[in-house]
């Protein structure tokens, strides 16, 4: 095994969290190296694919700190660690300003509040993947150029295998590159490898019994290497049973024009979702991310349908920058359409009587104002408008759960230091971005914001290292 020269900080993962951490460390006169498992010049990761919106819980990232803190607590139903909620609310705006100083441009993508700070240039308003030369791609290439100018290093094709420990402190990483193991020694390590959504074994353990029946809605490169390395040293995990994702057409499993956009969430929250027995199994009013998690937990995640009528199709179906209507049909998504519920059930091969009863019960509960008492599961109506399914033609879209990134991960404190189960710190070890847990998820599967999370934890981890490891190497 070969050994590289001493660094101040070794960073695992070249996405937004890792590249921000590396640059901030280099700004603070630390010698930083980023180990990126991808070998291509434009290595794939979720940051490369991102839509580029910097928000906190779908609120503007520049809002008052206390407003954002309360929103994070509310969105996660109190699951979030208080110190992490405070951190995100306080530091989110600084990430945007710091990136602007690095030469990253932002734009307003729509009139929606949470679209005020979006990476430029934006993605085109069309289905399918469209990332080259867009916001996330430009961000990573810009930060790489900055890092090299600051004498930092980005090592491609280096997959982390284990952590080096001396006297109870993490002091480096052993990585495999071109079949050879190399040790990269440092005085601190930041795990920023993007969660574990790309590892079937971990997804099966924590999220779904059938990971092969989920659609990777991101790059699928987060393989949980950092999670495994941290737990091997006694690091605790938190919230690993939740993920961020959206409901997709089942045809997206074979048609790349149907992911990551358009997704079905606006149809889900206006209509209903049923299983192969023609029955509702989840509260659609809790949002698309919530429903997507529920679908993933089913015995058959591919046995679900989104049911709606023509009024929903023409109104809610047109919501969003890349709406389901007209893109689902235009791109070849499987859609069943019929003039009666009975005919719709037959077309979708759903039990006619069961589907008819499900829709009738839902419509009756909606018309009498008893969505939370007369049907099971109940239907929340305070977040999204629940719409009756009464106007022909009626639609059934075979659906699947699209997983973008895991929400839970390695337990950290407000400095992004990795914690044991008793909340003591593992010296020299940090986790940032999607690798870190304790901020998102919980019973409400609250989504705070992946780019903001990566940026904040990347900045604070580098700054804490610079303030606490003494003189640079």
Instruction: Tell me how far apart the alpha carbons of residues 221 and 196 are, in angstroms, rounded to a whole number.
Output: 8
| Cross-strand bridge partners of residue 437 | 411
Pairing verdict, β 272-274 and 304-309: antiparallel
Taking each helix axis as running N to C, give the angle between helix 450-468 and helix 16-27, from 0 to 180 degrees, rounded to the nearest 10.
30
* Residues 121, 135 contacting (CB under 8 angstroms): yes
* Residues 89, 72 contacting (CB under 8 angstroms): yes
| Cross-strand bridge partners of residue 247 | 401
Which pair of tokens denotes residue 266?
């606006």
Q: Give the CA angle between residues 213, 214, 217 to the nearest 5°.
A: 150
Which pair of tokens denotes residue 122?
């934006």
Taking each helix axis as running N to C, give the angle between helix 450-468 and helix 82-101, from 0 to 180 degrees, rounded to the nearest 10.
90
Nearest residue to 438 via CA among 198, 87, 107, 121: 87
Calculate the CA dihedral of residues 442, 448, 449, 455 and round it to 10 degrees: -100
Neighbours of 351 (CB within 10 A): 16
Instruction: Tell me how far apart the alpha carbons of residues 175 and 157 are, in angstroms, rounded to a whole number.
Output: 9
Calculate the CA dihedral of residues 31, 37, 39, 44 and round it to 10 degrees: -110
Neighbours of 120 (CB within 10 A): 15
Q: Which structural domains are found in the chain, ordered by start?
A: 2-240+407-468 (3.50.50.60), 245-403 (3.90.700.10)
Instruction: Tell me how far apart the alpha carbons of residues 293 and 207 are, in angstroms, rounded to a whole number.
Output: 8
Per-residue tens of pLDDT for the chain, all 473 residues = 676 669 999 999 999 999 999 999 999 999 999 999 999 999 999 999 999 999 999 999 999 999 999 999 999 999 999 999 999 999 999 999 999 999 999 999 999 998 999 999 987 778 999 999 999 999 999 999 999 999 999 999 999 999 999 999 999 999 999 999 999 999 999 999 999 999 999 999 999 999 999 999 999 999 999 999 999 999 999 999 999 999 999 999 999 999 999 999 999 999 999 999 999 999 999 999 999 999 999 999 999 999 999 999 999 999 988 999 999 999 999 999 999 999 999 999 999 999 999 999 999 999 999 999 999 999 999 999 999 999 999 999 999 999 999 999 999 999 999 999 999 999 999 999 999 999 999 999 999 999 999 999 999 999 999 999 865 44
Q: Cα separations (Å) of 230 from 409, 427, 428? A: 10, 12, 11
Pairing verdict, β 59-60 and 336-338: unpaired
| Residue written as token pair 């529920």 | 294
């Amino acid at each position: 095994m070969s050994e590289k020269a001493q660094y101040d900080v070794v960073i695992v993962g070249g996405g937004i969290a890792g590249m921000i951490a590396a640059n901030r460390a280099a700004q603070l006169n630390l010698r930083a190296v980023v180990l990126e498992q991808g070998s291509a010049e434009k290595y794939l990761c979720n940051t490369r694919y991102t839509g580029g919106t910097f928000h906190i819980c779908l609120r503007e990232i520049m809002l008052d700190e206390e407003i954002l803190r309360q929103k994070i607590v509310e969105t996660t139903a109190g699951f979030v660690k208080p110190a992490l909620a405070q951190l995100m609310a306080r530091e989110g705006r600084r990430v945007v300003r710091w990136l602007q100083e690095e030469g990253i441009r932002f734009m307003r993508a729509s009139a929606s509040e949470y679209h005020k700070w979006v990476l430029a240039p934006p993605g085109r308003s069309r289905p399918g993947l469209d990332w080259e030369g867009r916001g996330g791609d430009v961000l990573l290439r810009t930060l790489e150029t900055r890092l090299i100018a600051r004498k930092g290093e980005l090592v491609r094709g280096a997959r982390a295998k284990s952590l080096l420990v001396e006297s109870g402190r993490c002091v480096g990483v052993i990585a495999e590159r071109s079949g050879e193991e190399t040790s990269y020694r440092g005085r601190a390590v930041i795990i920023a490898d993007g969660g574990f959504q790309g590892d079937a074994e971990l997804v099966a353990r924590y999220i779904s019994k059938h990971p092969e029946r989920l659609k990777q809605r991101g790059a699928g490169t987060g393989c949980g290497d950092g999670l495994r390395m941290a737990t091997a040293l006694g690091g605790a995990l938190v919230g690993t049973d939740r993920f961020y994702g959206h409901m997709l057409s089942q045809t997206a499993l074979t048609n790349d024009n149907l992911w990551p956009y358009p997704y079905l969430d606006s149809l889900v929250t206006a209509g209903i979702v049923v299983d192969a027995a023609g029955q509702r199994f989840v509260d659609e009013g809790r949002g698309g991310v919530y429903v997507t998690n529920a679908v993933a937990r089913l015995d058959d995640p591919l046995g679900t349908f989104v049911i709606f009528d023509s009024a929903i199709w023409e109104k809610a179906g047109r919501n969003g920058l890349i709406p389901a209507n007209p893109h689902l049909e235009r791109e070849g998504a499987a859609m069943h359409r019929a003039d009666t519920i009975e005919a719709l059930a037959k077309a979708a091969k759903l039990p006619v009587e069961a589907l008819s009863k499900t829709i009738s019960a839902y419509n009756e509960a909606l018309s009498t104002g008893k969505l939370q008492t007369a049907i099971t599961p109940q239907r929340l109506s305070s977040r999204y408008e629940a719409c009756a399914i009464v106007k022909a033609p009626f639609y059934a879209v075979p659906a699947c759960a699209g997983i973008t990134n895991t929400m839970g991960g390695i337990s950290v404190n407000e400095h992004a230091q990795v914690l044991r189960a008793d909340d003591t710190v593992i010296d020299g070890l940090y986790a940032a971005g999607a690798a870190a847990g304790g901020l998102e998820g919980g019973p409400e599967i609250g989504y705070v914001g992946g780019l903001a999370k990566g940026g904040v934890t990347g900045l604070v981890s580098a700054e804490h290292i610079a303030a606490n490891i003494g003189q640079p190497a």
